[in-house]
Amino acid sequence: MADNGTTGTAVVTGASSGIGAEYAGRLAARGFGLVLVARRAERLAALAERLRDSTGAAVETLVADLARTADVARVAERVAAPDVSLLVNNAGINGYGPFTEADPTLLAKVVDVNVVAPTALARAALPGMVARGRGAVVNVASLLAFAGSLPPGPLPHRAVYAGTKGYMVTFTRTLAAELAGTPVRVQVVCPGLTATEFHLSAGDSPVEGERQRVHDEGGMPAADVVTASLAALDTGEVLCVPGLADAGAVDGLAAAELGLRAGPGASVAERYRAG
């Protein structure tokens, strides 16, 4: 990623493993100071030590559960500080399971972590970035944001999770249009299946142990997801799909949306008059 005036401090949520840990390492190597946010204190401390030793980066750790309002407020306070030039909203949980059988408390937590927290943190970060004329926000979503009509098997039962990721896609793309006249960039990255710990827990509790693991399903290496995201951020792509060979598909999405928006006419569509 080219500098573009954005080096400074990067805040990375969900930094204790997987995509978040990969962002942390890559950004430290590019000269960013880091604030690493996650629930697992031991994992964060070990990662911070490794990055300080290998890159010389200044690394802070902030242990927080982004399902808790008080913890989100603590992280938001740090995100709003003037040294922060990059926010990576990576933390997320899945809450997979049939909607009619899922624990309502867990589903509420999915919404809190995947929607409420990143929205609050972006709101904390962006006013200062806009005022300073530099900065970026990266939101990590999922290709499941576009899987609404597909049934489970082989995809997971995912109604709430996919809904939260659909929110992040629409939120980011709309926010990018709002900020188009500023030097501040926003991106949503939508990986497909990625080789991380993500499927080892529904999100009600973090994966135990000090060593990062990979779920049995495999998937794209987290390093490749981050490579794509940082390259797309440098070139100004708002919607980044790491494995998408034909970038024209994104234009096709915008065209389809334009067609849907042509619907609000002065009278109801003829097909609804049949009854």
Residue 47 in domain: yes
Segments forming the whole domain that contains residue 28: 9-273
pTM for the structure as a whole:
0.91
Q: Is residue 173 part of a domain?
A: yes
Query: Which residues belong to the active site?
Result: 161, 165
Tens-place pLDDT, residues 171-203: 999 999 999 999 999 999 999 998 776 655 655
pLDDT tens for each residue of 230-264: 999 999 999 999 999 999 999 999 999 999 888 76
Cα 198 from chain centre: 13
Q: What is the domain-level CATH number for residue 111?
A: 3.40.50.720
Query: What's the total number of domains in the chain?
Result: 1
Asked if residue 83 is part of any domain, the answer here is yes
The Cα 177–Cα 174 span in angstroms is: 5
Residue 85 lies in a domain: yes
Residue 3: inside a domain, yes or no?
A: no
